[in-house]
Amino acid sequence: MYYLGIDIGSSSVKVAFVEALTGKSLATILEPANEMEIQSLHKDWAEQDPNTWWEHVCTATKKGIQETNIDASKIAGIGISYQMHGLVVVDKAGDPLRNSIIWCDSRAVEIGNQAFKALGEEKCTQYLLNSPGNFTASKLKWVKDNEPDVYKNIYKYMLPGDYIAYKLTGKISTTKNGLSEGILWDYKKDKVANWLLAYYGIDDDLTPDIANNFTNQGEVNLKAAQETGIPKGTPIIYRAGDQPNNALSLNIFNHGEVAATAGTSGVIYAVTNNLKSKEPARINHFAHVNYAQEKQNVGKLLCINGAGIMYRWLRDNIGIKSYEAMNNKAAEIPVGSDGLVIIPFGNGAERMLDNKNIGAHYLNLNFNQHNKGHLCRAALEGIAFSFVYGMEILKKDNVEINVIRAGNDNLFRSQIFSITIATLIGYDIEIYNTTGAVGAARACGLLDGDFEKFGNSISKNDYVKTIKPLKNKKPFIDAYTLWENELKNILKNK
């Protein structure tokens, strides 16, 4: 038997096939070969056609079945991961009324900010655990205000993963964790936050029915079977946004467990059963994949926009062709980069800096001392320091850290980056070789609710190594202190 995982990103669609019994990954198919288009009709807008996602799902599933040569009739379940916070609106026929307003679209920022003030910070913090912000609910309000002809024809709103589940089954539904990603979930009442919808003037009946994770959420219908090659009757068992799903992929389910990713942007995702927060704007809170009324596990998410994009920019502009070569150059330089400091926040407003857009900064550059190796090391250290800075914010907001796990990709492949973080925070970092699509596929095995067995499978299949803190912390502390002081000076002037 096999499980199928579908991961809907904004740059590509990934489909993974795993063995149901062992969790072993058989293949991952990426579509398209080049990145998907993001349409930006105006500054800070970002849209994609939901049917484009579906077309790539169909191509990838058929290709994967053919390449793995598996018996498709033995696909026992489907898991879906997807880009968070997006908005898909459909009519009664289930057809999209407009492009999806995706996660990186900023048009609804002011709508969310005004709602936060009008509804009250205390109420939003206690009931939503978040500011309404630039999330799905606020994007739906934007459609209502700016595209009334579209709004009046909306039958249901969905998140991107809900749309793919609908295309597979013909059944429109969402999940608690999905609604929480759109800031549409009332944690105190354990129900849809209808009072927020009422404030926005949005009809309650536009909200889909709620399906539970790790249950049969609907089965592949005949039309979808013909388009994807997945047998009719195959159940969807799981769906979640990309960051909660990344945590699941790393066996992060319980209070005190933390997942870290360091790609173009960086994310720290800490699971907690403490629903109190003093940071509804700088930190986002989402119902985790195993959230239930009797076990309210919430993911506290802190995003760092200026992460891997900093290192990629450097690679593209200093004449070094590979990250490996950059890492080797950086390894020639001592901790602290001989005083060179790089502040990496050059990828837009940073939520953890109170939405200030401070840009990237090169400080203390000495033309007689510093070279390409210093630039590489200072960049790695600057990004690592931003993770440490973010973890300090999380710890002050009731996060407990018992274990940290990260994927064996992007910046965590750099020893300098990983050791700098581990040494400064004083915790081991466990590294695993897994992906979101593989994690979503494996999640189908949680129909039995055996999370311990699930975690053992991840350890057996994916564990790579453990990064341990170095005993001599002083040079790292000195370098971080200098970096933090420079950051504080910049923030004072913004």
| CATH number of domain containing 141 | 3.30.420.40
pLDDT above 80: residue 169: yes
Pair 328, 202 in one domain = no
Average pLDDT over residues 139-163: 98
Pair 163, 270 in one domain = no
| pLDDT at 212 (0 to 100) | 94
Burial (Cβ within 10 Å: 0-12, 13-18, ≥19) of residue 294: exposed
Pair 310, 356 in one domain = yes
Q: What's the pLDDT tens digit per position in 108-127?
A: 999 999 999 999 999 999 99
Instruction: Quote the number of domains for the chain.
Output: 2
Last residue of some domain: 193, 222, 244? 244
Tokens of 25: 């990954």
Handedness of CA 441, 445, 451, 456 (dihedral sign): negative
| pLDDT at 264 (0 to 100) | 85
Query: Contact, 49 vs 96, CB < 8 A?
Result: yes
- Asked if residue 434 belongs to a domain, the reply is no
φ/ψ of residue 17, rounded to 5: -120, 130
Three-class secondary structure of residue 306 per DSSP: coil
Pair 179, 53 in one domain = yes
Tokens of 21: 């019994």
Task: List residues bridging with 30 in a β-sheet.
Answer: 14
Tokens of 354: 């109170």
Count of CB atoms within 10 A of residue 86's CB? Answer: 31
- Asked if residue 476 belongs to a domain, the reply is yes
- Would you place residue 271 in the very low, low, confident or very high pLDDT band (cuts 50, 70, 90)? very high
Handedness of CA 65, 70, 75, 79 (dihedral sign): negative
Q: What's the pLDDT tens digit per position in 339-396?
A: 999 999 998 889 899 888 899 999 999 999 999 999 999 999 999 999 999 999 999 9
| pLDDT at 211 (0 to 100) | 96
- Asked if residue 441 belongs to a domain, the reply is no
| Mean of pLDDT over the chain | 95
- Asked if residue 395 belongs to a domain, the reply is yes
Residue numbers of the domain that contains 297: 251-428+468-494
Query: Contact, 375 vs 318, CB < 8 A?
Result: yes
Pair 296, 198 in one domain = no
Q: Where are the beta strands (DSSP E) in 97-205?
A: 100-101, 156-158, 173-174, 185-186, 191-192
Pair 366, 482 in one domain = yes
Share of residues in the chain with pLDDT > 90 (%): 88
Pair 136, 262 in one domain = no
Last residue of some domain: 193, 210, 244? 244
Query: Contact, 12 vs 30, CB < 8 A?
Result: yes
- Asked if residue 238 belongs to a domain, the reply is yes
pLDDT above 90: residue 408: no
Last residue of some domain: 228, 244, 260? 244
Pair 259, 306 in one domain = yes
Q: What's the pLDDT tens digit per position in 9-28?
A: 998 999 999 999 999 999 99
CA distance 392 to 287: 22
CA distance 232 to 73: 9
Buried b (16+ CB within 10 A) or exposed e, 200-236: bebeeeebbeebebbeebbbbeeebbebbbbeeebbb
